[in-house]
Amino acid sequence: MKLFYTLILSVLILPGVEAQNILFVPSGAALTTTGGVVITLQDMDLQCDGTINQLPGNGTFVFNGTAGTGVSGVSRPLFDVLEIAKTGGAGISLNQSVNIGGSVNFTSGLINLTGGNVYLQPAAFLKGESETSHITGTAGGYVEISGMLNAPTAVNPGNLGAIITSTQNLGNTVIQRGHEPQNTGNGHSIARWYNILPANDNALNATLRLSYLKSELNGLADNSLTVWKSTDNVTWTSQGATASDAVNRWVETSGLSDLSWWTLAAGVALPVQFTAFHVTCRRDDARITWQTASEENSNHFDVLFSNDGVAWQTIGTVPAAGNSSLPRDYAFTDDRGSGTGFYRVAELDNDGRAVYTGILHTDCTLGTDNLSCWPNPVQGQLTVSLRLASNDQVLITVFNNYGATVRQQAHALSAGNNQLSVNMNGLASGTYFIQVSWSGNQRTMRVLKER
């Protein structure tokens, strides 16, 4: 038996040594790694009856190959980084819960919870979830993270997809995400739910944005989704939707006094689906344009302006189409002589419901091109705002403090104000430089990344 223990540990730490079918850490044995070692399990299961306890930066477990494999055992392992890199439609099943100290990296393939849970430590997060590589689990299980949320502004703990804003201090907040469809009484929900448990759960005046994947729609249409709430995970009520985005796949509701169980399900179809929203400077005026893909029972659009992005006023009204299944273009000119501030458009239907565009910031008193980014310091998503004089190709490059490229993305942008999102999740704390290049122009901004 001693020889068997030695063989297993040698397989774990020595390069070029392969095992067959299963990597077994027996009871009484401890697996330790240092120096960022990568342990690749190609078409292998992992059974942990002993101890796997990786400290931050100590290594990565990669599950790859073309066969479905799993994690099992009587002990819960602590991974620094767990990576799924399966091909050919294969994935891994969690028949045992796991702890994550650093991140879960999604390259390709699914992680099926199958009743197991993923416990993210406070600084851990999900990295790179996509339509082809993500967590699923219609048989039960959830992903969980907890941490302090004090007056959060668009905070997405653990990158789980529940984005929270509140003027109140929520204190230590536990967030769980599962993937069993819920019976809302009005039919079924998408294959994703959240349970949000803040220490302070009173008079929050919170805004909650819930993200989802196309593969989680569970037969529902994007434009039918509204936010549903439950206090007991049994009885659900629709909270409507104050904003939604069928392209980037999220639905949002505001004015929440407390937080509990949440999912997305079909309510009354949203009256309008926005597909474009721009603000263009014309001397000291701002030209606001937007497009809808479809409209149902729509009454009018309110053009809203704010000096600070918090307090809004209606500066104009534009009649809506009423009912339309074709794309429609709208425009409004803010000719008050300022053109500096925040803009958004609200659609009001005949029943009093409202759907909002995103928010664009502009300063028409500046030159032709205007570039800014926020928040700074940043933890997760960085917003880059760029005003262009004409349609252009824009390249955004993120450099670390040593000049190495760590992120790069290209966009075809329209004339006027544009807002782009740069994912800073997964980057170490420190100083980064955001370089934006277009048509012979190049601007660089300094950003501080925080955990």
Do 432 and 390 fall into the same domain? yes
Instruction: Check: CB of residue 209 under 8 Å from CB of residue 261.
Output: no
Domain C-terminal end among 269, 289, 323: 269
DSSP state of 378: B
* pLDDT tens sequence across 19-73: 448 999 999 999 988 888 999 999 999 999 999 999 988 999 999 999 999 999 9
The average confidence (pLDDT) of the chain is 85
Q: How far apart (Å, rounded) are the C-alpha atoms in residues 385 and 407?
A: 17
Instruction: Check: CB of residue 78 under 8 Å from CB of residue 51.
Output: no
Instruction: Check: CB of residue 264 under 8 Å from CB of residue 194.
Output: no
Q: Which residue has better confidence, 242 or 120?
A: 120
Tokens read off for 303: 């053009």
What distances in angstroms separate CA 296 from CA 54, 224, 251, 323, one per listed residue? 54, 12, 18, 5
Do 124 and 147 fall into the same domain? no
Instruction: Check: CB of residue 100 under 8 Å from CB of residue 124.
Output: yes
Using CB atoms within 10 A of its CB, is residue 334 exposed (0-12), middle (13-18) or buried (19+)?
buried
**Confidence label for 10 from pLDDT (cuts 50, 70 and 90):** very low
DSSP state of 377: S
- What integer pLDDT is reported at residue 437 of this predicted model? 86
Do 280 and 265 fall into the same domain? no
**Confidence label for 7 from pLDDT (cuts 50, 70 and 90):** very low
Instruction: Check: CB of residue 75 under 8 Å from CB of residue 97.
Output: no
- What integer pLDDT is reported at residue 167 of this predicted model? 87
CATH classification of the domain holding 436: 2.60.40.2550
**Confidence label for 369 from pLDDT (cuts 50, 70 and 90):** low
Q: Which residue has better confidence, 413 or 318?
A: 318
Concatenate the DSSP letters of all residues of 246-265 into one string.
Answer: TTTTEEEEEEES---EEEEE
Range with top average pLDDT, 3-17, 187-201, 308-322: 187-201
Convert 67-92 to b/e letters by CB count within 10 Å (16 or more is b).
Answer: ebbbbbbeebbbbbbbbbbbeeebbb
Does residue 12 carry a pLDDT above 50? no
Do 157 and 129 fall into the same domain? no
Question: Which position has the token pair 């170490």?
Answer: 428
**Confidence label for 268 from pLDDT (cuts 50, 70 and 90):** low
Instruction: Check: CB of residue 309 under 8 Å from CB of residue 284.
Output: no
What distances in angstroms separate CA 28 from CA 21, 23, 317, one per listed residue? 22, 15, 72
Domain C-terminal end among 363, 392, 410: 363
Residue 418 structural domain = 370-449
Of 71-80, 115-124, 142-151, 421-430, give the lowest mean pLDDT range: 421-430
Do 374 and 358 fall into the same domain? no
Does residue 13 carry a pLDDT above 60? no
Do 77 and 152 fall into the same domain? no
Do 108 and 206 fall into the same domain? no
Closest CA to 223 of 183, 189, 285, 271: 271
Instruction: Check: CB of residue 264 under 8 Å from CB of residue 227.
Output: yes
Do 251 and 225 fall into the same domain? yes
List of residues 6+ apart from 116 with CB closer than 8 A:
71, 93, 94, 95, 96, 97, 98, 141
Of 210-219, 236-245, 272-281, give the lowest mean pLDDT range: 272-281
CATH classification of the domain holding 234: 2.60.220
Do 115 and 16 fall into the same domain? yes
Do 38 and 121 fall into the same domain? yes
Phi/psi region, residue 240 (left: phi>0; alpha: psi -120 to 50; beta: rest), is left
Do 167 and 157 fall into the same domain? yes
- Global pTM value: 0.60
* pLDDT tens sequence across 172-185: 999 999 999 998 87
- What integer pLDDT is reported at residue 14 of this predicted model? 35
- What integer pLDDT is reported at residue 416 of this predicted model? 75
CA 114 to the chain's CA centroid: 23
Does residue 5 carry a pLDDT above 60? no
- What integer pLDDT is reported at residue 299 of this predicted model? 92
Does residue 307 carry a pLDDT above 90? no
Q: Which residue has better confidence, 231 or 7?
A: 231
Do 220 and 320 fall into the same domain? no
- What integer pLDDT is reported at residue 20 of this predicted model? 46
Domain C-terminal end among 363, 381, 398: 363
- What integer pLDDT is reported at residue 271 of this predicted model? 67
- What integer pLDDT is reported at residue 9 of this predicted model? 37
- What integer pLDDT is reported at residue 303 of this predicted model? 94
The total domain count for the chain is 4
